[in-house]
Amino acid sequence: MFPRAALILLTVSVLDAQVTFDRILHADKEPQNWLTYSGTTLGQRYSTLNQITPDNVKDLTMQWAFQARSTEKF
């Protein structure tokens, strides 16, 4: 069982990591941070970031991949 001090510290760190309702409501002001599953509450799954363009997309390289241990559907 956790000592009481460790439990309090864990609780404070979890509460500190919460995203406020105001940030979620105005998520379009933070396009680099997808605060909800679809980016914003509009659910458009569209990013206004412009680092990737038709001219430089050919230079992208794969940085990581996830391979499931099963061939079953998720």
In a domain, 8, yes or no: yes
Q: List Cβ neighbours of 13 (8 Å cut-off, separation of 6 or more).
A: none
Q: Which domain holds residue 32?
A: 4-59
What pLDDT is stored for residue 55 in this prediction? Answer: 95
Q: Is the pTM of this model over 0.75?
A: no
Decide: residue 43, CB within 10 A, 0-12 exposed, 13-18 middle, 19+ buried.
exposed
What pLDDT is stored for residue 51 in this prediction? Answer: 92
Q: What is the mean pLDDT of each run of 10 residues along the chain (74 residues)?
A: 65 69 91 88 87 94 90 76
In a domain, 72, yes or no: no
Split into its structural domains, the chain has a count of 1
Residue 41, token pair as written in the block: 């509450």
In a domain, 71, yes or no: no
In a domain, 66, yes or no: no
Using DSSP's 3-state secondary structure scheme, residue 59 falls into helix
Q: Look at residues 74, 31, 27, 22 and name the one whose alpha carbon lies nearest to residue 52.
A: 31
In a domain, 40, yes or no: yes
Q: Do residues 52 and 40 lie in contact, with contact meaning Cβ atoms separated by under 8 Å?
A: no
Using DSSP's 3-state secondary structure scheme, residue 2 falls into coil
